[in-house]
A and B are shown apart, each in its own frame.
Chain A
Amino acid sequence: MTKLDAQDVILESPLHYFSKISSHPVSSNQLFNGDLEFGVVAKEIRLGCQLNLRGDASDEHFVTGAESVLGIALPTVPGTYQYNSDTAVYWLGPNEWLITSATDALELEALLRSKFEGHIAIIDVSGGQTLVNLRGHGVLTLLKKASVYDFYSWSDAVPGAGRCVQTTFAKATAIVANRTDGSFDIIIRRSFSDYIAQWLLDAGQEYGCRIESC
C-alpha cells in the first residue's frame, strides 16, 4: 500500500451521521426540509482544537503565559468563560480550563508549553468532544427539559463575559455556555453524541428541530 496523501484522510465529527436530520410536529419526514421553520437548530461547529488545561491560577507566570498565547485571560470566576474571535477559555474548576481554538492542537499545545514551567498539564481532547450551537425560540424551554440548572439566572450576565456550566444534559453531561446572540453552546462527549442528538430531535420536535453537522 502506498503512502496516503493527507486529503485522502476522512474525518467524521461526532454528529457526522446526523447531517441535516430533523424532527418536526407537522412533518414526520425525518429528512431535512427547507420549507419548514425550526424552533431549535443544533449546529455542530468545526473547531481547530479543544485542549484541557490544568495549572495553578495563583501562579503569575502560568496565568500571564496563558494569556500571552491565547490573547485572553484565564477566567477565574466560577461558571464563566472568556472569548475572542477564534478562542474561548471556559472555567471548569479552580485549576482546570477548556480551551477551544481555531489553531491546530499540536501547535497550540507547543506554544503554551513553551510559556509554562512547573506543574501544569495540557491534554488534547479534540477527538473526544464537540461543540454544538443551539439557536431558536424553543431553546430555552428545551434547556429546561435537559438540565436542572437555572439558565434564567444568566439573564443578568455582563456582556462580554460569558457564562458556562458543567451540568447534566438529559442523561448525559454537557458544558453549556451562553452567547451574546441569545443562543447557547453545548460541548458534549463524543460517545454520548448520538444519544444527545436523538434526544434533541425528540425534545425539540414540538418546535421543529434540525441538526447540522460539521
Chain B
Amino acid sequence: MRQLNRLLAAGRTDQNKVLNFTFNGKDYQGVAGDTLASALLANGIDVVGRSFKYARPRGIFGHGPEEPNAIMQIGSGASTIPNLKATQVELYEGLEAASVNGWPSVNFDIMGLIGAFGRLMPPGFYYKTFMYPKKLWMTYEHFIRKAAGLGSSPVESDPDSYEKLNQHCDVLVVGAGPAGLVAAREAARTGARVIIADEQSEFGGSLLASTQLIDGLSATQWVADITKELGAFSNVQRLPRSTVFGYYDHNFLAILERRTDHLGISAPSGPRQCMHRVRAAQVVLATGAFERPLVFAHNDIPGVMLASSVSTYVNRYGVAPGNRLVLAVTNDNAYQTAIDWYHTGRTVVAVVDSRTAPNGVLVEQVRALGIQILEGHGLIEAVGSKRVRKALVAPINEAGSEVTGSVQSLVCDLIASSGGWSAAIHLSSHTGAKPVWDASVVSFRPGESKQQERSAGACKGTFGVLDGLIEGANAGAEAAKLAGFGEGQVQFPTPLIDQIIEQPQQALFLVPHSKTTSRAPSQFVDFQLDVSAAGIELAVLEGFESVEHVKRYTALGFGTDQGKLGNINGMAILAKALGQGIAETGTTIFRPSYTPTTFGAIAGRDINHLFDPERYTAMHRWHVDSGAEFENVGQWKRPWYFPQVNETMQQAVDREGLAVRNSVGILDATTLGKIDIQGPDAAEFITRMYTNSYLKLAPGKCRYGVMLKEDGMIFDDGVCACLSENHYLMFTTTGGAAGVLSWLELWQQTEWPELQVYFTSVTDHWATATVTGPNARKVIAKVCQDIDLASESFGFMDWREGTVSGVAARVFRISFTGELSYEVNVPAHYGRYIWEQLIEAGAEFNITPYGTETMHVLRAEKGFIIVGQDTDGSMTPADMNMDWVVGKNKAFSFIGKRSLERSDSVRENRKQLVGLKTLDPSAVLPEGAQVVNDPNQPIPMSMQGHVTSSYYSASLGHSIALAVIKGGLSRMGDTIHCPAADGSSIAAEIVSSVFYDPTGARQND
C-alpha cells in the first residue's frame, strides 16, 4: 500500500475497503471511513493549498469545521462544489478534489514567488491600496480572485434535488457527543419528541477518537450502544451528517442534512440534501469545543497541527501524519496526544510545556513512558518550507511573555500544539446571548440564555467527559420537563468513566519569540486570511480599539472557517496589545451560518415551475391550445394575445382590437377579484369604502367606484353590483383582490365593528367570459333565452340572472372596451364549457378571443384608467379627471375624503391625466417617457410629467397615449415633447383622454 502514514490499527475506518480518489489530478487511495483530509494525510500529502494573501504553502491543520487550509473544490462540471473543508468531506470512490487556493499549482505558483512581498501587504491592505481609483476595482478584484483562488461555482444548473422539511419537536439536541447523547436519552425517556442532530458521519463526537473506557466499554462501543438505544425510541429522530447551522428567533433552528454527499458528487437517487426547519420547544446545545492552537513563528508550515487533530487522525482514522512529533502545550489535557503518538510506535521528540513543574495524571503517564518534557519552555518557531523540519524551543518566563534563555533546535516533521479549548458557543451566540469570558477555564462560556435553550458539556466550558455526561443528562431532563414531559429528574445512572484530575492550565496564546512580535517571523492567528499577531498589533497602533473594528480591518475571522480556530487567540492578542483583559475586549458576534450552507438546500424544491405558483383560470387550457402568449398579472397567467400563424404581436393586437370594434371579441376576465358582501349594513359600508354612494343602488344594478387610501390617493377601482337587498358583489382589480379584501376586513374589524357586514372572496368560484362588440347581443341571444336582452330592459350597468347554455349564470353589462358588453359569470367548473359555447355561438360573427394587450389598447382608446399603471399611489380622483366619481354629499365620510382637501391635494399644477396625440401618427411614445415643454432646454430640463400608457390604435389609425402632466387639463392643444435617451424627441399634442366614442353611445347601446 502506498499510504505510508496508514497505521495497522484502523480506528473507525475499514481498511479492507479501498477507495480511489484524485487530488489535483493525481490518483490516490484511501479507505472507507476516511475523510478526504485523513486520506491525504495517509498518503503523505503535505501541501494542500496556498494562503489567501501571501500564497504560503499550507497543510492540513485540524480535523473538523475549524480547518482553515484544506479548502477544496470537489467534483467537476454541473455538480462541482467549491470551498469544502477536506476535514468534512467523507471519502467516496472516484472523488475528485482540487485545491481552491494555489493557481496554477499548490507546489509552485506565481504568488509563491511574490510571497516575499508579504511585508507590503499590511492589514487594511485592500482598503489602503484598492480604494482608488474606484473604476479600477473590477480589475484589481479579478486579479486578486484569480491569484487567491476562491473556488469556482458550477455554470450549469445543479442536477441534484434538495428538500425542505418543517419539523416540530419538544427537545432538540444539537451535537451527539457524550453530553448530547445522554441529554437525548433523558429527554426521550419522558416521551418528549426529540431530534438529535450531529454534523459528523456518525454519532459520538469527541468519543470517536477517545481511548477512555465508559461503563467498562470502549468509548466507541458505548456510543454504538446508546445510539442504538435512542433508535429504539419511536419519539426520537436521529440526524447524523446534519449541521444545525442557524439558531433564529422563537426557537426556530435550521439543520442541513447531507443525505448523499458521502456517496458521490451527485445523489444516486432522491434529494442530495435536506434542510430541516425546526420549531423546538426546548433546545439542548451540546456542540463541544475547539482546541486552540498556540501562536508561534511560522506556525503555518505544513506539519503543524492541533494536538487533538493528531490524536483524532491516529485513533479514529488510523493515520499518523508524520514520524517525529514535538508537542507544545499549556495544559495537561493535550498530553494525551503524546501518549497516542507513542503508541503508534513513532517518535515523540519532546513535549514543550509552558508551565513550570507540571505534574498532572497525564503528565506523569507521559513521563513514565520516558518522553522528554521541556518544562517552562515555549515552542517559539517552526522551521521548514513545505514541511516542518525543526522546532525551535526556548525557556520562557512564567508569564509567558518573553524568552529567557538560549534557543535549541529539535529535529521533527510534526508539531502539534494546544493552548487549551474554546467552547463552541456559536449557536448560543446566534440567539443574541453575549458570551462571557471565564479565566478559570480560559474560554468564553455561553451568555445568559435569550431563548428556550441551555448548553451542556464542553460548549458550556465544562471540558471533562464525566462532568459533561452529568451536565448533559441534567440538561436533557430539564428541557423535557420545561416542554411538559417528566419531572426533570435524571433517570439513567451516570456512566462510569475515570475522572482525570488535571492541573491548572496556563492562559497562553501567543508564544514569545526572541524578537519582538513586529520583527519576528509571521506568527499566524487566522490562517485562512493570513492575519498575523503583528497585524493585530499594528491595527492597535493605527488606532483601532473595538474588537469589531479590528476584525474588519484585519479580516480576522472573515474566512469560511469564521475564525473557529483563530478568533480567541486574536482577541487575546488584541487585549494584550490594548493593555486590558479578554473580558473587557469581548468577542465578535457569531452569526448564522455555522458552516457554509448550499443555496440548493435553501431553495429546496421552490425552483423552476414551482418557484412561484401559477394561477390558472378554468379556461386556461383552451388558451394554451389556441396558441395564446401569456402575461403574468400577479400570480395569474392571463392570455396576452392570440397570435395567428406568422403574426407579430402588433398585428395580432390590431386584428383583435378591430374585431371588437367592428364585430365581437371575447376575453377571459376570470382573474378580476370578486368579493361577496352580505349584511344589513353592506351598502353603508361599501359607501364608506368607495368615493361614491351605493345607498340607492337597486338590485340588478351596478356602479363603478374608486377606492382611496387615507391619504386620498387611488388604490383600487372596480364595479360593485347589488345582487339583492343587503347583498353585493364587489369586483376588484386582478392584482388588488387580496389587498382589497384585507382592507375591508381591517376597517370592519378595527374601526366599524358595529356595522353588520360579512366579506367572502369568491374570486375562484366564478369563471367570467366577456363578450364585447357591436354583435355581442346577437351572440348572447343564441345561448341565453331567459334574459330579455333588449337595451331598455337590460341596459348598460345592469346585471341579470339567467341560463347560459344550460348553466345558471350572472350576466353583467359592464364594459371596459367602450363597446356593448356582456360579462357572463358561471361557477368555474363550467368555465371552459361556457367559453367554448360562446365561441361556437359567435363563430358566425367571427368572434375573436383577445388578450390583455388588446384590452389595454381598447380601454386606453376610451381613456379608462388602470390603477397601478396610470396611477402610482400619488393620484387623486381629480388628478385622473374623475371628480364625477366622488360623492360630495354623502352623510358619512368616506376613506380618503379629508385628504382630498389637503393643501397639496388642491394645489394648482398637480399632474393631471390627459391624452397625447403624437404629431407623427405612427410614432408610439415609450411608456414612462418624460414630458418637457422644450426639448432644447439645457439640462436640468423642467419636467412636466410622464407618459403612463401608450399604444398604436388600429381602430383610430394613429398612436394614442395617456400621460399625467402638470396642469394638463388646462393645456389642451399645447404641444409637448418627449425626449429619448438617444437624443431624438417625439412631439405630441395634449388632447382629451377619451379618444373614442366620447358620448359612450356604443357601450350604452
A residues with CB within 8 A of B: 1, 3-6, 8-14, 17, 25, 52, 54, 95, 119-129, 141, 144-145, 147-150, 152-153, 170-172, 189-192, 194-195, 198-199, 202-203, 206
* Contact of A195 with B614 in the complex, beta carbons under 8 Å: yes
Closest Cβ neighbor of A172 among chain B residues = B613
Return A208 CB to nearest CB of chain B, in Å. Answer: 13
* A-contacting residues, B812-862, CB 8 Å: 826-833, 837, 840-841
Query: Known contacts being A17-B621, A52-B760, A144-B165, is A11 close to B830, with CB within 8 Å?
Result: yes
Q: Which of B39-47, B676-684, B708-716 contacts A (4 or more CB under 8 A)?
A: B676-684
Set of chain B residues within 8 Å of A153, measured between Cβ atoms: 168
* Contact of B807 with A171 in the complex, beta carbons under 8 Å: no
* Contact of A194 with B618 in the complex, beta carbons under 8 Å: no
Return A31 CB to nearest CB of chain B, in Å. Answer: 18
* Contact of A144 with B166 in the complex, beta carbons under 8 Å: yes
Set of chain B residues within 8 Å of A11, measured between Cβ atoms: 829-830, 833
CA distance A8 to B616 in the complex (A): 24
Set of chain B residues within 8 Å of A195, measured between Cβ atoms: 610, 613-615
* Contact of B764 with A128 in the complex, beta carbons under 8 Å: yes
* Contact of B269 with A25 in the complex, beta carbons under 8 Å: yes
Set of chain B residues within 8 Å of A14, measured between Cβ atoms: 828
Set of chain A residues within 8 Å of B618, measured between Cβ atoms: 12, 190
* Contact of B678 with A129 in the complex, beta carbons under 8 Å: no
* Contact of A3 with B764 in the complex, beta carbons under 8 Å: no
Q: Looking at the complex, which one of B193, B617, B806, B831 makes contact with A4 (CB distance below 8 Å)?
A: B806
* Contact of A1 with B783 in the complex, beta carbons under 8 Å: yes
Set of chain B residues within 8 Å of A126, measured between Cβ atoms: 765, 827, 829
Q: Looking at the complex, which one of B606, B609, B831, B832 makes contact with A198 (CB distance below 8 Å)?
A: B609
Set of chain A residues within 8 Å of B827, measured between Cβ atoms: 124, 126-127
Set of chain B residues within 8 Å of A121, measured between Cβ atoms: 676, 678-679, 758, 760
* Contact of A194 with B614 in the complex, beta carbons under 8 Å: yes
The 8 closest A-B pairs by CB, nearest first: A127-B827, A128-B764, A128-B765, A121-B678, A127-B828, A121-B758, A150-B168, A191-B615
* Contact of B833 with A9 in the complex, beta carbons under 8 Å: yes
Set of chain B residues within 8 Å of A198, measured between Cβ atoms: 609-610
* Contact of A145 with B829 in the complex, beta carbons under 8 Å: no
Set of chain A residues within 8 Å of B605, measured between Cβ atoms: 145, 199, 202-203
CA distance A147 to B618 in the complex (A): 26
Set of chain B residues within 8 Å of A3, measured between Cβ atoms: 785, 806
Q: Looking at the complex, which one of B612, B678, B758, B832 makes contact with A12 (CB distance below 8 Å)?
A: B832
CA distance A8 to B617 in the complex (A): 22
Asked if B871 is at the interface (CB within 8 A of a chain A CB), the reply is: no
Closest Cβ neighbor of A119 among chain B residues = B756
Max chain B CB contacts within 10 Å: which of A1, A124, A192? A1
Query: Known contacts being A52-B760, A171-B606, A189-B764, is A148 close to B277, with CB within 8 Å?
Result: yes
**8 contacts across the A-B interface (CB closer than 8 A):** A12-B618, A119-B679, A119-B680, A125-B762, A127-B828, A129-B764, A144-B166, A171-B613
* Contact of A206 with B617 in the complex, beta carbons under 8 Å: no
Q: A119-B680, A120-B758, A127-B766 are known; give 15 further A-B pairs, CB within 8 A.
A: A1-B782, A1-B783, A1-B841, A4-B806, A5-B806, A12-B829, A12-B833, A25-B269, A119-B756, A119-B758, A123-B762, A126-B765, A127-B831, A128-B762, A144-B167
CA distance A3 to B837 in the complex (A): 12
Asked if B279 is at the interface (CB within 8 A of a chain A CB), the reply is: yes
Set of chain B residues within 8 Å of A52, measured between Cβ atoms: 760
* Contact of A128 with B785 in the complex, beta carbons under 8 Å: no
CA distance A171 to B621 in the complex (A): 22
Max chain A CB contacts within 10 Å: which of B164, B679, B827? B827
Set of chain B residues within 8 Å of A17, measured between Cβ atoms: 621
CA distance A111 to B167 in the complex (A): 44
Query: Known contacts being A10-B833, A119-B756, A127-B765, is A54 close to B166, with CB within 8 Å?
Result: no
* Contact of B830 with A9 in the complex, beta carbons under 8 Å: yes
CA distance A129 to B450 in the complex (A): 43
Set of chain A residues within 8 Å of B767, measured between Cβ atoms: 127
Max chain B CB contacts within 10 Å: which of A127, A171, A199? A127
Set of chain B residues within 8 Å of A123, measured between Cβ atoms: 676, 678, 760, 762
CA distance A206 to B165 in the complex (A): 14
CA distance A203 to B609 in the complex (A): 13
Return B256 CB to nearest CB of chain A, in Å. Answer: 16
CA distance A10 to B829 in the complex (A): 8
Return A17 CB to nearest CB of chain B, in Å. Answer: 6
CA distance A149 to B277 in the complex (A): 12
* Contact of B270 with A191 in the complex, beta carbons under 8 Å: no
CA distance A203 to B830 in the complex (A): 30
Asked if B975 is at the interface (CB within 8 A of a chain A CB), the reply is: no
CA distance A129 to B765 in the complex (A): 7
* Contact of A194 with B168 in the complex, beta carbons under 8 Å: no
Return A86 CB to nearest CB of chain B, in Å. Answer: 20
Closest Cβ neighbor of A171 among chain B residues = B613
CA distance A203 to B766 in the complex (A): 30
Closest Cβ neighbor of B607 among chain A residues = A202
Asked if B300 is at the interface (CB within 8 A of a chain A CB), the reply is: no
Return B874 CB to nearest CB of chain A, in Å. Answer: 31
Return B517 CB to nearest CB of chain A, in Å. Answer: 53
Return A56 CB to nearest CB of chain B, in Å. Answer: 10
CA distance A148 to B837 in the complex (A): 43
* Contact of B807 with A9 in the complex, beta carbons under 8 Å: yes
Max chain B CB contacts within 10 Å: which of A12, A14, A190, A192? A190
Return B823 CB to nearest CB of chain A, in Å. Answer: 16
Asked if B526 is at the interface (CB within 8 A of a chain A CB), the reply is: no
Asked if B763 is at the interface (CB within 8 A of a chain A CB), the reply is: yes
Q: Looking at the complex, which one of B277, B758, B783, B840 makes contact with A54 (CB distance below 8 Å)?
A: B758
CA distance A12 to B618 in the complex (A): 8
CA distance A74 to B98 in the complex (A): 66
* Contact of A145 with B617 in the complex, beta carbons under 8 Å: no
CA distance A126 to B609 in the complex (A): 27
* Contact of A191 with B616 in the complex, beta carbons under 8 Å: yes
Asked if B365 is at the interface (CB within 8 A of a chain A CB), the reply is: no
Closest Cβ neighbor of B808 among chain A residues = A106
Query: Known contacts being A1-B782, A126-B827, A192-B615, is A206 close to B270, with CB within 8 Å?
Result: yes
CA distance A192 to B763 in the complex (A): 12
CA distance A127 to B756 in the complex (A): 26
Set of chain B residues within 8 Å of A202, measured between Cβ atoms: 605, 610
CA distance A25 to B267 in the complex (A): 13
